[in-house]
Amino acid sequence: MSAALQTIGLSKRFGGLTATDDVSFTLGHGARHALIGPNGAGKTTFINLLTGVLSANEGTILLEGEDITRMPQQQRARRGLGRTFQINQLFGAMTPVESVGLAVSERMGGGGQFWRRLGKRTDIVDEIVELLRQFRLIEVMDEPTARLPYGKQRLLEIAVALASQPRVLLLDEPAAGVPEAERGELLDTLAALPRDVSILLIEHDMDLVFSFADRISVLVNGALFAEGTPEAMRNDPRVQDVYLGSDNHV
Ligand SMILES: Nc1ncnc2c1ncn2[C@@H]1O[C@H](COP(=O)(O)OP(=O)(O)OP(=O)(O)O)[C@@H](O)[C@H]1O
250 or 100, higher pLDDT: 100
Tens digit of each residue's pLDDT (9 = 90 or more) over 150-208: 999 999 999 999 999 999 999 999 999 999 999 999 999 999 999 999 999 999 889 89
Residues 6+ away with beta carbon under 8 Å from 82: 161, 162, 164, 166, 168, 169, 170
110 lines ligand 1 (CB under 6 A): no
CA-angle at 86, arms to 81 and 92, nearest 5°: 95
Q: Are 174 and 154 in contact (CB under 8 A)?
A: yes
- Highest mean pLDDT among 78-87, 120-129, 177-186, 210-219 belongs to 210-219
- Highest mean pLDDT among 81-85, 88-92, 112-116 belongs to 81-85
Tens digit of each residue's pLDDT (9 = 90 or more) over 23-35: 999 999 999 999 9
Going by CA atoms, what residue is nearest to atom 1 of ligand 1?
14
41 lines ligand 1 (CB under 6 A): yes
pLDDT, mean over the chain: 90
Going by CA atoms, what residue is nearest to atom 17 of ligand 1?
44
Going by CA atoms, what residue is nearest to atom 23 of ligand 1?
40
Phi then psi for 192, rounded to 5 degrees?
-95, 5
104 lines ligand 1 (CB under 6 A): no
Distance from residue 134's CA to the centre of ligand 1 (Å): 33
44 lines ligand 1 (CB under 6 A): yes
Tens digit of each residue's pLDDT (9 = 90 or more) over 51-61: 999 999 999 99
Q: How far is 42 from 100, CA to CA, in rounded Å?
A: 31
Quote the pTM value.
0.91
40 lines ligand 1 (CB under 6 A): yes
What's the pLDDT at 112? 61
Phi then psi for 32, rounded to 5 degrees?
-120, 85
Q: How far is 37 from 94, CA to CA, in rounded Å?
A: 35
Domains and CATH numbers, the chain: 1-80+166-250 (3.40.50.300), 89-165 (no CATH)
What confidence category does residue 125 fall into, taking pLDDT thresholds of 50, 70 and 90?
confident
What's the pLDDT at 107? 85
Q: How far is 21 from 36, CA to CA, in rounded Å?
A: 15
42 lines ligand 1 (CB under 6 A): yes
What's the pLDDT at 203? 92
Distance from residue 44's CA to the centre of ligand 1 (Å): 7
The dihedral built from the CA positions of residue 95, 199, 195 and 77, taken in this order, carries a sign that is: positive
Distance from residue 127's CA to the centre of ligand 1 (Å): 37
Q: How far is 110 from 118, CA to CA, in rounded Å?
A: 9
